[in-house]
Structure 1
Amino acid sequence: MVMRKVGKYEVGRTIGEGTFAKVKFAKNTDTGEGVAMKVLAKSSILKHKMVDQIKMEISIMKLVRHPNIVRLHEVLASQTKIYIILEFVTGGELFDKIVHQGRLSERESRRYFQQLIDAVEYCHKKGVYHRDLKPENLLLDSQGNLKISDFGLSALRRQGVELLHTTCGTPNYVAPEVLSHKGYDGSAADVWSCGVILYVLMAGYLPFNETDLPTLYKKINAAEFSCPSWFSSEATALIKKILDPDPDTRIRIEDIKNHEWFQKNYVAAGHGRDESVNLDDVQAVFDDIEDQYVSEQRGNNDMGPLIMNAFEMITLSQGLNLSALFDRRQDYVKRQTRFVSREPAKVIISTLETVGESMGLKVRARNYKMRLEGVSANKAGQFAIALEVFEVAPDLFMVDVRKAAGDTLEYHKFYKQFCSKLEHIIWSPSGISSKSESLSRAPSC
């Protein structure tokens, strides 16, 4: 079993995975505080020429200090890796809430939108444009407050440069001027994305959603959408001012904040005085730093899957109710999901591989870990799933499934199809019926 310590942080399980980084839960041994540790391999970012972008992301996250933005605590480095220590946000993605509830009430949507606009306005005043605003990059803390994350595609305004030129972001949320490959105002582009997010919060679906990119781009360029009947007239009017395809006439943040609909129950975020931020260490993390920052102890894990104890299982299940591990009839799926099997670990792995290949996905497997890769439904980017098999008891294994790349809603659809092909290896205790998610009558794990 792998034991790892990075500086003063004890590193735990992987809680997220992206194209160039993994995010692990870690504990500050000095304070006992839980943090999220973003781990990047230097070789990978050098290979993909991502050095400048990663430096930019770290610099931006050090610059922005706002209650509705995930906080960067510090950055560490070893000879081979970079470790970005971030605030650990426990409430999950805002997207999970939308998938679960279908849509949010206008009052709740407005509260999240107010927090989003406050944070985006703060970023713009700092000269920072996010450029990839979408529900998957909006997290919720334990009090239900919104936190913007993932500044990997952000841009800093440079002296004398008024327009940005890089096309980036998720197609469904991107402003038409960004798609035109001409220069665009980062502030107006972020406002458009905020409008799409508000629509999704209140409607439960996207205003622009086509499977082929040409049709999607055509509808975005023409702002071809309609608001559902349950939107209030005030909300509809504001959304139409935000989703204006002309960035010159699109409503600005200051006017959004003065809008009658926005002002209802509005409480401005108080972030106090700006702290002085020193960026000298950002360059330093890319230098050759000796291993005094990082100590690692590795055990031999070639004997089989890692063993997960009861405490870790309960922690991953976010409470004592473990029914989600066993009940495949749950009505929604988060970006990280798990199921249990009594088949031998090697049978589980081979079955996952067979099913992945049958779904047209590229399969990579090693040491009871697997990655399934394909192209997203609208062919706009990569779609990837990470899986790992754990032993939770003798002859009982848990399969941890995570979205590694792609859209969360697409993952939601994939997972249901994936599980339907795995019914013969998924185990459900006899005590759980289709109408019950209680584990009270189920055999103990």
Structure 2
Amino acid sequence: MSLSSENSACAGAAINELPEIVIDVKSEKEYKRGKFLGKLEEEIDIHKHLRHEHVVDFHSHFEDDTNVYIILELCSRQFLKEMQKCREKLTEAEVRYFLRQLLLACEYLVEEKVIHRDLKPENLLLTGDMKLKVADFGFATRVHNPGQLKKAICGTTNYMAPEILTKKGHSYEADVWSIGCI
């Protein structure tokens, strides 16, 4: 049986409609040490349930004997950090444009009872049409009860809220602090 050129064109069109993806490879050796494997499982569990225009899409994940593969939306532009490096500074209009999108993403995370805990320019990606997407939920956690405070010290020091550094307990406000640092 052979395919006609008409059928081939249809198959080609279907292939071109597949989403562009990136595969984040996590070495299982690094994560098999105690709590780190649980943290990777939590990252996957949190991210796979998030659906928002300003959060990187989670497509699926799988593992083999050595690695865990997380299949994510490809953000074909650069990290916001790289954009800042290339251009000495962003215009006020650009800052407002990106800040609005980041705030919408964070508002959604609060609705989903998720604290990101590592918001920084390297975790803010840009799509081909310059939409901001929050990425990397490796330090993210869920808030299970209203008023619950988390005690873990995590994130990137330059963007960490004082309550994280002082171990006083933190919640969603830690992400607000990080936004101010960005």
User: Which TM-score band (shorter chain)?
Assistant: 0.7 to 0.9
Structure 1 partner of 2:180: 195
- Measured in 2, the distance between the counterparts of 1:92 and 1:78 equals 29
Residues 1:170 and 2:122 are matched in the alignment: no
How far off is 1:120 after superposition?
0.5
Structure 1 partner of 2:90: 104
Residues 1:61 and 2:50 are matched in the alignment: no
Q: Any residues of structure 2 matched to 1:303-314 within 5 Å, and which?
A: none
* Identity over aligned pairs, percent: 37
Structure 2 partner of 1:304: none
- Measured in 2, the distance between the counterparts of 1:38 and 1:48 equals 21
- Measured in 1, the distance between the counterparts of 2:70 and 2:16 equals 17
Structure 2 partner of 1:41: 27
Structure 2 partner of 1:395: none
- Measured in 2, the distance between the counterparts of 1:76 and 1:43 equals 15
- Measured in 1, the distance between the counterparts of 2:55 and 2:85 equals 22
How far off is 1:78 after superposition?
2.2
How far off is 1:31 after superposition?
5.4
- Measured in 2, the distance between the counterparts of 1:177 and 1:44 equals 28
Residues 1:136 and 2:122 are matched in the alignment: yes
Query: AA paired with 1:59?
Result: D
Query: AA paired with 1:147?
Result: K
Larger Cα-atom Rg: 1
The count of aligned residue pairs is 168
How far off is 1:165 after superposition?
0.5
Query: AA paired with 1:95?
Result: K
TM normalised by structure 1 equals 0.36
How far off is 1:36 after superposition?
0.6
- Secondary structure at the aligned position of 1:74 is classed as strand
How far off is 1:112 after superposition?
0.3
Query: AA paired with 2:44?
Result: I
1:76-135 Cα offsets, whole Å, 9 max, x none, are: 122332211100110110011111111111111011000000000100110100001000
2:165 to 162, 175, 179: 179
Larger proportion of strand: 1
2:112 to 106, 126, 130: 126
Change (3 A) 1:83 1:31: farther
Structure 2 partner of 1:83: 69
- Measured in 2, the distance between the counterparts of 1:141 and 1:196 equals 22
- Measured in 2, the distance between the counterparts of 1:139 and 1:111 equals 14
Larger proportion of helix: 2
Residues 1:153 and 2:139 are matched in the alignment: yes
- Measured in 2, the distance between the counterparts of 1:91 and 1:168 equals 27
TM normalised by structure 2 equals 0.86
- Measured in 2, the distance between the counterparts of 1:41 and 1:73 equals 19
Change (3 A) 1:109 1:160: closer
Q: How well do the aligned residues superpose, as a CA RMSD in angstroms? A: 1.8
Q: Any residues of structure 2 matched to 1:167-316 within 5 Å, and which?
A: 167-184=153-170, 186-197=171-182
- Secondary structure at the aligned position of 2:133 is classed as strand
